[in-house]
Amino acid sequence: FFSLNTLKLNKNYTDLEKDAHHMLNVMRMSLGDTFRIVDIDNKVYKAEITEVSPLTYLTIEEIDVQKSNISKTVICPLLKGEKFDFMIQKATELGADVFLIYEADRAVVKLDDKKRKNRLTRFKKIIQGASEQSKRLTVPTIEFVGNLKSIDLSQYDLNLFAYEDLNFTKSESLIDVLNNNKKFDNLSIIFGPEGGFSKKEIEVDNLSFVKLGERILRAETAPLYMLSVIDAVME
């Protein structure tokens, strides 16, 4: 099936025209072709095109699909140039559910409200495209938040804080932490900017410090490493 992740079966759905164009002109789908739709409760259905102009479809049956039951929130500052675009695209493919962009003490990129709004529009498009491409059932959300301290980390079962100081005594290996915490369904993973975390930022409560191997990864690589390992170990 072609996966049409955004086709929400409710009154607020506004992208039908755009999705119809994508299906008919880009994917070259036609009468009788089937595709997947996801409703507002994330139930998945097989549907068939019964008319092309305007696009009309018939829902055939509900499909039972395997869904990930661990929610993963990526907490990360904005990165320079197109690195953040790259990271959110790949992290969406790798199963991130929420992106929170925090103001890091050593952030290189700082934006005013207008620029943030424009960036969010671009980020949402990237996430939408990556969700459709990877046939995800849900589209991750993204928002700007304040500094690390302003995020209520108590809402997560586990907060994996990727700390680049490889000699930090409180850090454990990621695999060990995951294996010792088999029962959780709401996880946050926290990363620093290009320049790393300030000393103040590591004083936040409720953190599990983890090392991602013995090499320092680029800021855009670290979340992708972490999501891949979580996927391999937990899902």
Q: Which residues bind ligand SAM (CB under 6 A)?
A: 162-164, 191-192, 194-197, 211-213, 215-219, 222
Q: How far is the CB of 191 from ligand SAM (least distance, A)?
A: 4
Q: How far is the CB of 40 from ligand SAM (least distance, A)?
A: 35
| Residue closer to ligand SAM, measured from CB, 23 or 94 | 94
Q: How far is the CB of 120 from ligand SAM (least distance, A)?
A: 22
Q: How far is the CB of 39 from ligand SAM (least distance, A)?
A: 37
Q: How far is the CB of 169 from ligand SAM (least distance, A)?
A: 14
| Residue closer to ligand SAM, measured from CB, 20 or 75 | 75
What's the chain look like in SS3? Answer: CEEECCCCCCCCCCCHHHHHHHHHHHCCCCCCCEEEEECCCCCEEEEEEEEECCEEEEEEEEECCCCCCCEEEEEECCCCCCHHHHHHHHHHHCCCCEEEECCCCCCCCCCCHHHHHHHHHHHHHHHHHHHHHCCCCCCCEEEECCCHHHCCHHHCCEEEEECCCCCCCCCEEHHHHHHHCCCCCEEEEECCCCCCCCCCHHHCCCCEEEECCCCCCCCCCHHHHHHHHHHHHHC
| Residue closer to ligand SAM, measured from CB, 22 or 83 | 83
CA 141 remoteness from chain centre: 7
| Residue closer to ligand SAM, measured from CB, 195 or 204 | 195
| Residue closer to ligand SAM, measured from CB, 62 or 176 | 176
